[in-house]
């Protein structure tokens, strides 16, 4: 890896060739006031001065004053191929003018076509070929849980600490141990195992001498805290909201084997890791040498449309006929068209390859930055699904939570939007649209360098 010296020139945001239309809507203050008066206070915003995003094009967005930003968080990993990607916009516009319908009671080609395309993207021989379409990742996980319980006849679910699986009742139950606001499981029948979070190993062990105890512990959890049988295990191949927590390579193989021994199905939540984001594989689970029984997906599947899916084998999918389960908008022609167009771009524009090449360059540069910036405790993740955990002290690993919040503010001033996550909100989440260029990646790292130096100087 080439070493670069500490920076002297200010980080330069690559200038987009796109010109945003003049903004003629209500002022930012008016928008904020409406939000405060008429919308639930449960909604949170980033930044001391919340940002109004008026327009987007590919990896960039513009505020109402026309200031350009690099969107390195992509609407929380939702924009997979680029804001308002022309191919996607054109196809959806055409479909909008032709038919918007909300029921699967009649036939329409797009739903079957997207089901077929998803099946074609699953590993050969996996039989993961049947889709149930929803409007969100939470709903897709609900369907996965329901199907597992119905298929196995078991009730108990194993999820992971530090996970995030959505905002519906069952999905909140899967989310555990202080991630965001869900402090404990409000749903019966969910047990939480330890994720492969080596940087903060709950057992105080080191990989590989630990023998991946976090994964093996699932056997004890099932033996002692369930009736000895489980319906399913659900895990994100790389934890997203939890801060790009990336397990040791054999973690999922060990867990899947144990869960299957006790009669359970294995669910991979690909809401963040799917569609080529990890660069080395189309699905996150493929990086770990496992094949799940059920795959759930959303966000990047349709470049911003409200679309989720639960994909499984025909024998598991069949159990849904035991249930009256109806989804009004699931499978509607507009979302289906957007999903198909997004897949066309992913396949046609080598998006996964770009995630690999630009993501590797970005990670290399972040690792190099770690050598100069003491606040960087760990750089982790794959492709364009990266995390940078910030600490006050590398020995004690005290989370640098307030510094992380400050860093986001300073990055915004310089035209860079990134996310934060992790148990203590001290991990930078870098998950840009997968059309990110090398120049964008360089700007991102230069900007972090500048801002970390500024925060370090204040300490
Ligand atoms: C891994 C994961 N699963 C599920 C969800 C829930 O998806 P949605 O917000 O579309 O319901 C999210 C959302 O952030 C997620 O990150």
Give the per-residue pLDDT at 201: 95
d(CA 37, CA 52): 17
Give the per-residue pLDDT at 67: 98
Rg of the chain over all Cα atoms, to the nearest angstrom: 22
Could you tell which of 145, 271, 339 is best to mutate to test the pocket of ligand 1, judged by most ligand atoms within 8 Å of the CB?
A: 271
Residues whose CB falls within 8 Å of the CB of residue 307, separated by 6 or more in sequence, listed in order: 133, 134, 135, 298, 301, 335, 336, 338, 339
- Which residue carries 């969910």 as its tokens? 190
Confidence of residue 1 (pLDDT cuts 50, 70, 90): very low
Q: Quick one: tokens of 140?
A: 């897709």
Residues whose CB falls within 8 Å of the CB of residue 298, separated by 6 or more in sequence, listed in order: 134, 136, 137, 140, 271, 307, 308, 309
Q: Give strand pairing partners of 427.
A: 389, 421
Q: What ranges make up the beta strands (E) of 194-237?
A: 232-235
Helix (H, G, I), strand (E, B) or coil at 311: strand
Cβ of 76 less than 6 Å from ligand 1: yes
Q: Quick one: tokens of 342?
A: 């997004």
pTM of the model: 0.96
Q: Give strand pairing partners of 391.
A: 399
Q: For 108-129, what is each residue's pLDDT tens digit?
A: 999 999 999 999 999 999 999 9
**Domain 89-348, what fold?**
3.40.640
C-alpha 438 to ligand 1 mean position (Å)? 28
Q: For 237-289, what is each residue's pLDDT tens digit?
A: 999 999 999 999 999 999 999 999 999 999 999 999 999 999 999 999 999 99
Mean pLDDT of the chain: 94
Cβ of 79 less than 6 Å from ligand 1: no
Let me know how many helices (H) and strands (E) the chain has, helices first: 13, 15
| Domain coordinates in residue numbering, the chain | 28-71+351-458, 89-348
Which phi and psi angles does 355 have, rounded to 5°?
Answer: -60, -35
The region that residue 320 occupies, defined by phi over 0 for left and psi between -120 and 50 for alpha, beta otherwise, is: alpha
Q: For 57-86, what is each residue's pLDDT tens digit?
A: 999 999 999 999 999 999 899 999 999 999
C-alpha 267 to ligand 1 mean position (Å)? 14
Give the per-residue pLDDT at 326: 84
d(CA 11, CA 245): 28
> Given the CA of residue 141, which atom of ligand 1 is nearest to it?
4
| In the chain, % of residues over pLDDT 70 | 96
Which phi and psi angles does 69 have, rounded to 5°?
Answer: -130, 150
DSSP 8-state assignment for residue 206: -
Give the per-residue pLDDT at 322: 86
Cβ of 185 less than 6 Å from ligand 1: no
| Strands of the sheet with 157-160, listed across from one edge | 130-134, 308-312, 294-297, 265-269, 232-235, 157-160, 190-193
Could you tell which of 144, 234, 240 is best to mutate to test the pocket of ligand 1, judged by most ligand atoms within 8 Å of the CB?
A: 240
- Which residue carries 């149930």 as its tokens? 132
C-alpha 284 to ligand 1 mean position (Å)? 15
Mean pLDDT value across residues 300-320: 97
Confidence of residue 175 (pLDDT cuts 50, 70, 90): confident
Cβ distance 387 to 381 under 8 Å? yes
Q: For 412-439, what is each residue's pLDDT tens digit?
A: 999 999 999 998 999 999 999 999 999 9
Could you tell which of 137, 272, 305 is best to mutate to test the pocket of ligand 1, judged by most ligand atoms within 8 Å of the CB?
A: 137
Mean pLDDT value across residues 336-358: 98
Q: For 196-217, what is each residue's pLDDT tens digit?
A: 999 999 999 999 999 999 999 9
Check pLDDT > 60 for residue 383: yes
C-alpha 165 to ligand 1 mean position (Å)? 5
Q: What is the CATH number of domain 28-71+351-458?
A: 3.90.1150.10
């Amino acid at each position: 890896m080439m070493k670069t010296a500490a920076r002297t020139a200010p980080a330069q945001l690559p200038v987009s060739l796109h010109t945003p239309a003049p903004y003629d809507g209500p002022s930012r203050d008016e928008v904020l006031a409406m939000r405060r008066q008429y919308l639930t206070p449960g909604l949170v915003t980033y930044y001391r001065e919340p940002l109004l995003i008026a327009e987007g094009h590919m990896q960039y967005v513009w505020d109402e004053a026309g200031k350009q930003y690099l969107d390195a968080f992509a609407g929380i990993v939702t924009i997979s191929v680029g804001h308002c990607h022309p191919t996607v916009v054109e196809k959806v516009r055409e479909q909008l003018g032709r038919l918007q319908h909300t029921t699967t009671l009649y036939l329409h080609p797009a739903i079957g076509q997207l089901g077929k395309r998803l099946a074609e993207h699953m590993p050969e021989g996996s039989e993961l070929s049947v889709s149930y379409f929803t409007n969100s990742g939470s709903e897709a996980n609900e369907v996965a849980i329901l199907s597992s319980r119905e298929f196995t006849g078991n009730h108990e679910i194993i999820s992971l600490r530090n996970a995030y699986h959505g905002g519906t009742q069952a999905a909140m139950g899967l989310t555990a141990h202080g991630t965001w606001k869900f402090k404990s499981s409000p749903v019966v029948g969910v047990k939480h195992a330890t994720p492969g979070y080596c940087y903060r190993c709950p057992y105080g062990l080191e990989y590989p001498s630990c023998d991946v105890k976090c994964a093996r512990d699932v056997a004890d959890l099932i033996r002692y805290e369930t009736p000895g049988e489980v319906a399913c295990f659900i895990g994100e191949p790389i934890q997203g909201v939890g801060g790009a927590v990336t397990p040791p390579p054999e973690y999922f193989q060990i867990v899947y084997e144990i869960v299957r021994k006790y009669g359970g199905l294995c669910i991979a939540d690909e809401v963040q890791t799917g569609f080529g984001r990890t660069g080395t594989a189309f699905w996150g689970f493929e990086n770990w040498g496992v094949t799940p029984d059920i795959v759930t997906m959303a966000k990047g599947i349709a470049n911003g449309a409200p679309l989720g899916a639960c994909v499984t084998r025909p024998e598991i999918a069949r159990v849904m006929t035991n249930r009256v389960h109806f989804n009004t908008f699931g499978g509607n022609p507009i979302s289906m068209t957007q999903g198909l167009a997004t897949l066309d771009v992913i396949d046609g524009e080598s998006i996964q390859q770009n995630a690999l090449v630009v993501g590797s360059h970005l990670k290399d540069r972040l690792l190099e930055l770690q050598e100069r910036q003491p606040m960087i405790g760990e750089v982790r993740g794959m492709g364009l699904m990266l995390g940078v955990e910030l600490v006050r002290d590398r020995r004690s690993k005290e989370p640098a939570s307030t510094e992380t919040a400050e860093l986001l503010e300073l990055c915004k001033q310089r035209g860079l939007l990134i996310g934060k996550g992790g148990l203590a909100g001290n991990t930078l989440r870098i998950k840009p649209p997968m059309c990110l260029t090398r120049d964008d990646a360089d700007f991102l790292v230069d900007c972090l360098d500048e801002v970390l130096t500024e925060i370090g100087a204040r300490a």
